[in-house]
Amino acid sequence: MIKFGTDGWRAIIHEDFNEQNVRRVAHALAEYLLARKKKGLIYVGFDRRLLSEESAGQVAEVLTANGFLVRLSKNYCPTPVVAWQTKTNQAIAGVMITASHNPPQWNGIKIKEEDGGAASPEYTAAIEEILNSLTDREVKQIPLKEARAKGLLEIFDPMEGYIQALQKRFATDEIRKANWKIGFDPLYGAGTDYLGKILETDIFQIHGEKDPNFGGLNPEPIRKNLSEMIRVVRDKKLDLALSTDGDADRIGAVDEEGNFVDSHHIFALILRHLASVHKKTGLVVKTITTTNMIDKLAKRYHLRLLETPVGFKHLGGKLRAAPDPLMGGEESGGIAVTDWLNERDGIFSALFLLDIITYHRKKLSSVIEDLHREIGPHYFERLDLHLGEEVMKRLRETLPRLKRDRLGGQTVSEIKTFDGTKFLLSDGSWLLIRASGTEPLLRLYAESSTPDQVKRLLEEGQALLC
């Protein structure tokens, strides 16, 4: 069974992620589009993982065999490039071969709708239904050379257009004039070289070589994976460093003192800048795992706020349906500003951070201090527990029934169960326990006004599982 998770289908390479299943997913997408009388252009891209380029070719062979015009990336590219190309060039869909931030043994497929946003749950459910009844004999394919000869296949340069659009969107000349010493860690992923080319200046990039094993790291821009970048910031006295995940749709940062800056603060800084400097209004959407700083900023600047389950397909759907979408974001580093894309873009977010510190003429730690003065300090941690399948099965059944009157010395004021179990406490702190939708693990999330309270909540959360 091929199942789409919080963002696309992911599986272990050489097990469920194989040529046969890749072609089946592509054929199911083709059938879905044809059944809705959608015929036209589809963009196909791939990251730097094992089998990504080959799988992208297999997707293109199937889609062209079904009569679609396919533009296939000539090189690895970020997922947001496929999203941007799909939206900008009025394609009917986009396909990206990637497993995002997952460990190197994984690969997968993300599907984008016409606006470049993540395919909705209804969209992927329909594809799953087709997959369940599909036989391998039904899967059409033609060689890429034949598809090209028939005019059904074109090759596109992923940097062309996208880089120029970002240079127009941000004051890159002002960023250059500020002479920031910038570090960048793409974690061996698809964002490699993009930031330097957009800024047209020298930056300190590490982990830019191709390595399908990601140097033994998970390509996720969180503190434990950025230890080398933190050391580089301190040794070279950089002003800040930025990092993207395996397919460059997520963001992480390090300030000038070598402190990790999580995506909660990045989301809050961008939202605050949009509302206070650009005077933007509209709907803000966040996932259940995301900081309460967004709630405080939304209230302060009179913005509408919605909370969704984890997965950009949920978040993007709310933005897509709104008459006045502004932005959305999630704990894992995905942030979308909708007048750019209804989709996460780690490179866009990196440039936005540079734009913010350049506007204020302050270093990142100072801008964060200003944010804390405005809405109070917030600390957040996530704990990932790799548990056996039997334990996970039991917890999925029992989590919705977890009840507690007090946690962390505070009264539990509300319990939310629409994605895991989230305990909201009387002092504004919270604890969430949920099963990952993309990996076989349990995650605990906590936020409070002090690091000690965050630690206490995570410890009490683990005790609840016994």
Report DSSP letters for 146-188, one per residue. HHHHTT-EEEE-TTTTHHHHHHHHTTHHHHHHTT--EEEE-TT
pLDDT, one tens digit for every residue, the chain (466 residues): 899 988 899 999 999 999 999 999 999 999 999 999 999 999 999 999 999 999 999 999 999 999 999 999 999 999 999 999 999 999 999 999 999 999 999 999 999 999 999 999 999 999 999 998 888 788 999 999 999 999 999 999 999 999 999 999 999 999 999 999 999 999 999 999 999 999 999 999 999 999 999 999 899 999 999 999 999 999 999 999 999 999 999 999 999 999 999 999 999 999 999 999 999 999 999 999 999 999 999 999 999 999 999 988 899 999 999 999 999 999 989 999 999 999 999 999 999 999 999 999 999 999 999 999 999 999 999 999 988 778 888 888 888 888 999 999 999 999 999 999 999 999 999 999 998 766 778 999 999 999 999 999 999 999 988 7
Six token digits for residue 148? 């090209």
- pLDDT for 438 equals 64
Q: Which of 327, 427, 420, 411 is nearest to 379 (CA)?
A: 427
- pLDDT for 286 equals 97
Record the pTM.
0.94
- pLDDT for 350 equals 98
The answer to whether 320 touches 136, Cβ cutoff 8 Å, is: no
- pLDDT for 418 equals 92
The answer to whether 351 touches 198, Cβ cutoff 8 Å, is: yes
**What is each CA distance from 5 to 8, 255, 287, in whole angstroms?**
6, 33, 15
Six token digits for residue 16? 């469920």
d(CA 430, CA 414): 10
- pLDDT for 6 equals 80
Q: List all residues 6 or more positions away from 356 whose beta carbon is below 8 Å from its beta carbon.
A: 269, 270, 273, 367
- pLDDT for 354 equals 98
- pLDDT for 220 equals 95
Q: Which of 267, 296, 307, 290 is nearest to 376 (CA)?
A: 296
- pLDDT for 184 equals 98
d(CA 288, CA 308): 6
**What is each CA distance from 464 to 380, 403, 443, 446, in whole angstroms?**
19, 9, 13, 14
Phi, psi of 185 (to 5 degrees): -125, 100
Give residue 413's identity as a one-letter amino acid code: S
Six token digits for residue 159? 């940097």
- pLDDT for 204 equals 97
